[in-house]
Amino acid sequence: MSAEYDAFRPATVTSPAEDEDALRSEVNRVQASGVLGEARLRRMFDYLAERSLAGQSPKEIAIAMDVFGKSPDFDVSQDALVRVYIHKLRKALDEYYASPGNAGNTELHIPRGEYRLKVSAKAPDKTPDVEVPAAPQSGRGVGLRTGALLGAALLVGAFAMWLWTPRSDVERVRASPIWSTLLKDDRPIIIVVGDYYLIGETDDSMGVNRLIREYSVNSKNDLDHYVQEHPELADRYMDVGLRYLPISTAFALRDVMVVLAPENRRITVSKMSDIEPSSLKSADIVYIGYLSGMGMLQDLIFAGSRFSVGDSYDEVFDKRTRISYVSEIGSDIMDPPQPTGKEKTYHDYGVFEKIRGPGGNTIVVISGTRDAGVTQTAEVFTSAQKLKDLEQKSDVRLSMEALLEVSAVDGVNLNGKLLAQSNRDLK
């Protein structure tokens, strides 16, 4: 080996592996599990395993050259390739040791600031503190203020609620052109709920100490791209498999399932963060959730709309009237009013969109700036009487959109007022 090559691939020699047999046993278990997936990740694991068993912690440039075939002039300060794959490997190990039925008292991890595998006693399970979002914001990571993640039981309960709705009203809703186009189609129906993709932020020991929300990160692929663009966060941000659903999703889903469930169609429910782009062409889509949870659907929906969404997602702008509508909920949360003994009424906004999708499919959006807007929009567009009123204002057989102003008290929507309704096909 040349002196020049040595200069670019120094290896820090540590003491021999503390327990070589235990380390080798865990390495063999992980290799046999298939959890490592892609070839480059397996190659990195095998390389680190070999070096760790030899008591070595290789440098980043050595990994770039030996694992990824980079040249000696590869600039690790400008390219985060190694750190990205170290992040992926940490995540794969976490998923492996967290999987059900994974017996054993030891586990492998990669110590922070080093590139080697270390075996240690398995840590007891612990639930990280959770912060829930006060108000959707644009830009960098937003802390999530205290709250709870909605479980599957809430959504399952919503599905069952359609049984209590009078059949005559349901049939009138289904007969409305707003829904009949979708119901007469033979495509599968996907109900997409707008979720918040949560990221685990780690401490110096690589333990997750809080959950955060990056509004540009809405899927695992987004997270991988994000840490490539921000390599300084590669060791701090981790996919923890958690999502946040607004509580209004369950109530809106209950109303929509009343309309869709009995039609003997294949209906699936998916989180927005799990949707593949191909589904936006092949299936009929019903989106339910916050404007801030629409992910890749947002550009498709609002490209031809009279409305646009503000950077904070608490604002809807009507491009025809040049009027901006800002939800009052976010400001009340950030700056709570002084208690007076009398509940204060505030305004939220709901948005409904029905368009023809890129594959000739139907896409329906039931959305809002916050919970009151989502819930009221679902109630209006699944009400026989209110749909009849809407049909008198424009041709709802065509692609259409509407903006609602919602009055609410303490998170409960009281009533809604139609601010704008028009056919998207008309310019």
Each residue's pLDDT tens digit, 10-20:
454 444 445 78
Average pLDDT, the chain: 79
- 37 conformational bin, left if phi > 0, alpha if psi -120 to 50, beta if neither: left
Indicate if the pLDDT at residue 364 is higher than 90: yes
What are the strands of the beta sheet with 142-143, ordered from one edge? 142-143, 208-213, 196-202, 237-244
Q: How far apart are CA 114 and CA 13, in angstroms?
A: 12
Three-class secondary structure of residue 213 per DSSP: strand
Q: What is the mean pLDDT of residues 398-422?
A: 86
Indicate if the pLDDT at residue 132 is higher than 70: no
Phi–psi pair at 268, nearest 5 degrees:
-125, 155
Q: Find which of 110-119, 221-230, 298-307, 413-422 is predicted with most confidence, using mean pLDDT.
A: 298-307
pLDDT confidence bin for 157, thresholds 50/70/90:
low
* pLDDT at res. 335: 46
Q: Find which of 77-91, 156-170, 257-271, 378-392 is predicted with most confidence, using mean pLDDT.
A: 378-392
Indicate if the pLDDT at residue 149 is higher than 50: no
Closest CA to 119 of 130, 107, 136: 107
Q: What is the mean pLDDT of residues 186-214?
A: 85
Q: How far apart are CA 412 and CA 110, in angstroms?
A: 48
Indicate if the pLDDT at residue 176 is higher than 60: yes
Report the amino acid identity of residue 283: A
* pLDDT at res. 403: 96
Report the amino acid identity of residue 12: T
pLDDT confidence bin for 425, thresholds 50/70/90:
low
* pLDDT at res. 56: 87
Q: What is the mean pLDDT of residues 91-100?
A: 79
The more confidently predicted of residues 129 and 347 is 347
b/e map 387-413, b = 16+ CB within 10 Å: beebeeeeebebbbbbbbbbbbeeeeb
pTM over 0.75: no
Indicate if the pLDDT at residue 308 is higher than 70: yes
Indicate if the pLDDT at residue 171 is higher than 70: yes
Three-class secondary structure of residue 84 per DSSP: helix
